[in-house]
């Protein structure tokens, strides 16, 4: 490209990448599956858009109140939720966005500046950034309506705070990508993420606990927290606006400068990480092949009693993969953690306030834990071939029926469900005491209905809408948008039917009446599962190109 300036070349590169993304999107919606995924994304995007709009009204009203009452420092109570949502929502809910591996752009002759800007710009229009920006806009409108003279400074502070959040998000993902590239740091990060997620669940109970403390002690703790948070970005943004409202421009400028300092540190950290990646950093964990001694005998595979060899082999493979996956193992513990959280909170303490027609919260321990266990397994069941990658081709060419592969996977997933239920049972007995026999029978009969329905639906969507995933990573989308929406609908239907059965049995004063109702539904659910299983071979043969294409994507 002789005679073309670097700036023009950079613009051409940006345009080419934008055209590439548009072409990928346009081609993806040519198939019926792509159109269904797009419709699912639109529905879910609309739901989150309404959530963001409704929340924005609350943020704007709060900002108007604080500004009109000259309590600018209390704006930190609005900035903190914005920052926490902005950073944690992309990790917890990625069903709305596709995870583009931007490091693949290094295969092309990009300058480092272009690569840095692309990495920084990627994700600007994802749900977290859009909703966070909407909330900041609402806060700015609320402050401006209350005190129009603060508009110029408020706009500068809010823009800086938004840039800080964008940089923080990009930096977190860049370093998390680095940590997840190695097994040891991947496991440590998974445990850390689990405890962080678990810690957020205790915020509500902790607030309730400390709210009952004597007033002097509570005020003293609140003052300490306030002093600490004022040195952090949300507190800096709030106090900067508060100082400018009081006419103290030097202090306001100092706070804004400190906020810019945080952003500058993030730029340095992001540049350090991306520069190493740009220079060809290789984090491969591949090891050299180890030669086996001739005297070493090959280990035989598992042989489950009464189970054919192919099914046992698939079961063993699936069990070994899932048992070494940190995210999967943590999903087994989450229902137990939820029971402890509910026990600490008001859920147990306020049980006597419920009407007699309702079950007491302490009676819900086992069914809630069981439902949570089934829900945690949804991402795995509804995309059971996601971890196979190109290895799915071996299933298609091997001399076994595809239904045997599906049966092996279902048995492994069922074992993980049963293991999680055992942990829930132990936790319920420790936290609440042994549940009533009627409640236990009702829960087990409900699972006999819910599990086959989920496995039947999961087998269908695993074949019709597969998506490649890595069971060793956290915060990644585990299923396609269509599958996420469909699985949510199935869970809501199951929960609604269960709630009706429980409510009717309580009206008649006999919880045992729910058990035969669920057993009847279980017969229908098992029949549906067997019907789907009988057609798996034909469906897999018909969907073989889709399986290989979608699971072979890098």
For residue 435 the two structure tokens come to: 């549940």
Higher-pLDDT residue of 542 and 346 is 542
Alpha-carbon distances, residue 443 vs 45, 367, 474 (angstroms): 34, 5, 30
pLDDT of 218 reads 46
Average pLDDT over residues 143-157: 91
pLDDT at 344 over 60: no
Condensed to tens digits (0 to 9), the pLDDT of residues 196-217 reads 655 655 555 555 555 555 545 5
363-374: buried (b, 16+ CB within 10 Å) or exposed (e) per residue?
bbbbbbbbbbbb
- pLDDT digits over 41-98, tens only? 777 778 778 888 888 999 999 999 998 888 888 888 899 999 988 887 776 554 444 4
Residue 389: predicted pLDDT = 77
Q: How far apart are CA 468 and CA 387, in angstroms?
A: 6
Q: Quick check: 402 and 306 in contact, CB under 8 A?
A: no
Token code pair at residue 96: 């709305």
Task: Please give the radius of gyration of the chain, using alpha carbons only, rounded to the nearest integer.
Answer: 27
Distance CA 497, CA 385 (A): 29
pLDDT at 117 over 70: yes
Query: DSSP letters of 514-540?
Result: HHHHHHHHHHHHHHHHHHHHHTHHHHH
* DSSP letters for 454-511: HHHHHHHHHHHS-----TT-SS---S-HHHHHHHHHHHHHHHHHHHHHHHHHHHTT-G
Amino acid 411: pLDDT: 92
Contact at 8 Å (CB) between 384 and 409?
Answer: yes
If one compares 430 and 8, the residue with the highest pLDDT of the two is 430
Q: 156 is written with which tokens? A: 């500068």
By the 8 A CB rule, do 501 and 515 touch?
Answer: no
Q: Sign of the C-alpha dihedral, residues 234, 237, 238, 240?
A: positive
**Residue 497 in this model has a pLDDT that exceeds 50:** yes
pLDDT top residue among 259 and 280: 259
Mean pLDDT lowest among 136-140, 441-445, 503-507? 503-507
Instruction: Give the domain ranges of the chain.
Output: 31-278, 309-551
> For 406-435, how does the pLDDT look when each residue is reduced to its tens digit (9 = 90+)?
999 999 999 988 988 888 888 888 777 788
Q: Over the chain, what is the mean pLDDT?
A: 77
């Amino acid at each position: 490209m002789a005679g073309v300036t670097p700036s023009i070349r950079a613009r051409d590169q940006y345009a080419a990448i934008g055209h590439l993304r548009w072409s990928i999107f346009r081609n993806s919606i040519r198939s019926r599956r792509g159109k269904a995924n797009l419709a699912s994304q639109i529905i879910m995007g609309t739901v989150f858009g309404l959530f963001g709009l409704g929340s924005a009204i609350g943020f704007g009203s709060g900002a108007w109140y604080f500004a009109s009452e000259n309590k600018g420092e209390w704006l930190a109570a609005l900035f903190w939720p914005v920052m926490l949502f902005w950073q944690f929502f992309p990790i917890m809910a990625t069903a709305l966005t596709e995870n583009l591996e931007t490091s693949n752009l290094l295969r092309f002759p990009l300058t480092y500046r272009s690569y840095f800007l692309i990495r920084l710009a990627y994700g600007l229009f994802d749900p977290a950034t859009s909703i966070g920006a909407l909330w900041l806009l609402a806060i700015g409108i609320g402050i401006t309506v209350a005190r129009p003279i603060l508009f110029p400074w408020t706009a500068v502070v809010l823009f800086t705070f938004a840039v800080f959040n964008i940089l923080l998000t990009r930096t977190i993902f860049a370093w998390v990508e680095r940590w997840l590239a190695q097994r040891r740091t991947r496991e440590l990060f998974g445990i850390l993420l689990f405890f962080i997620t678990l810690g957020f669940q205790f915020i509500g109970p902790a607030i309730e606990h400390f709210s009952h403390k004597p007033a002097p002690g509570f005020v003293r703790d609140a003052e300490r927290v306030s002093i600490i948070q004022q040195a952090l970005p949300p507190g800096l943004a709030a106090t900067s606006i508060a100082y400018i409202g009081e006419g103290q421009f030097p202090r306001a400028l100092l706070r804004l400068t400190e906020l810019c300092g945080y952003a500058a540190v993030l730029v340095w950290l992001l540049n350090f990480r991306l520069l190493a990646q740009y220079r060809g950093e290789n984090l491969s964990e591949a090891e050299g092949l180890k030669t086996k001694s001739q005297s070493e005998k090959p280990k035989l595979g598992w042989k489950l009693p009464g189970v054919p060899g192919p099914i046992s082999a698939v079961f063993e493979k699936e069990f070994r993969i899932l048992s070494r996956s940190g995210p999967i193992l943590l999903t087994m513990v989450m229902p137990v953690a939820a029971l402890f959280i509910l026990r600490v909170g008001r859920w147990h303490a306020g049980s006597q306030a419920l009407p007699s027609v309702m079950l007491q919260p302490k009676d819900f321990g086992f069914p809630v834990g069981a439902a949570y266990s089934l829900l945690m397994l949804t991402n795995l069941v509804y995309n059971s071939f996601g971890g196979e990658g190109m290895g799915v081709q071996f299933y298609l060419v091997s001399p076994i029926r595809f239904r045997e592969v599906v049966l092996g996977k279902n048995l492994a997933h069922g074992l993980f469900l049963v293991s999680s239920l055992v942990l829930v049972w132990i936790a319920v007995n420790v936290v609440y005491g042994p549940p009533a026999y009627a409640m236990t029978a009702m829960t087990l009969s409900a699972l006999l209905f819910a599990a086959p329905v989920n496995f039947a639906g999961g087998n269908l969507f695993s074949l019709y809408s597969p998506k490649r995933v890595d069971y060793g990573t956290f915060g990644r989308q585990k299923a396609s948008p269509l599958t996420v929406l469909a699985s949510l609908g199935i869970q809501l239907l199951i929960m609604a039917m269960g709630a009706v059965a429980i409510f009717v049995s309580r009206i008649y004063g006999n919880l045992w009446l729910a058990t035969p109702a669920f057993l009847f539904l279980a017969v229908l659910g098992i029949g549906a599962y067997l019907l789907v299983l009988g057609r798996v071979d034909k469906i897999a043969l018909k969907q073989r190109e889709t399986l290989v294409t979608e699971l072979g994507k890098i």
